[in-house]
Structure formats: C-alpha cells, structure tokens
Amino acid sequence: MSADVEVLTGAKDSALVVPIQALVAHPERVVRRWEKLRAEEGKAGSRGKKARSEAMTEEDTTGTSGKEKLIEGIFVDRKGSARFVPVKLGLRGDTHIEVAGRSISRRRS
C-alpha cells in the first residue's frame, strides 16, 4: 500500500513572499563590512559609492569556516543599486518563503 499525504503546517491570508531562490546567506563579517561601507557612502556622496565599489574584494565572496554565523537576506533595488537586506523569515513552501520582517543586523553603539 502507499499514500500521498500533504501536511499543512501553517497558513496566512496575506503575506509578503519571495521566491526561495531570492534568499541568500552571507557571513556576518561581510554583511557588517557592507553596512559600514554603506554608511560611509551616505556621508561621502558619490565619492563614497566609488570607494565602496573599490572596497568590494574577492574576500567578500569567499567561503566560511563553518563556525561563522551566516545572515540570511535578500537583495533589493535601491536607486538602481542592489542592496543586501537581512530579513526575518516566516513560513516556507516548496517554491516561496515569507518575509516576516527586516532583521536588525546593525550593532548599536
């Protein structure tokens, strides 16, 4: 005998969802560096944007040691530039995932 079973673990009437392929994970050190460069860009205007693009190195795309914390997020278009936004995740399906909110990744000093 065999059976096909579909188990519903949660449902929402209205939710912000993205394709599961849009979700990416980057090492925390890389995300912190991007945030720092983005803040400097805001202060320096167009000079900061150039410095930011020059600061993006191969180090940002290398793998992690396995112990390093990964931050999940999506890239969004902000004024013609892709920006990484850490997100809180909600319900997951086979093809889509709920974005339950923005993850607070910035350290307050």
Side-chain-side CA neighbours of residue 40 (13 Å): 14
What is the rounded CA–CA span in Å between residue 62 and residue 71? 15
What is the rounded CA–CA span in Å between residue 73 and residue 26? 8
User: Quick one: pLDDT at residue 58?
Assistant: 46
37: pLDDT strictly greater than 90 = no
Are 23 and 72 a contacting pair, CB within 8 Å? yes
Average pLDDT over residues 8-12: 81
Residues 60-105 pLDDT 10s = 555 556 688 999 999 999 888 888 999 999 999 889 999 998 886 5
23: pLDDT strictly greater than 80 = yes
Within a 10 A sphere around the Cβ of 29, how many other Cβ atoms? 14
Residues 41-60 pLDDT 10s = 777 765 555 555 555 554 55
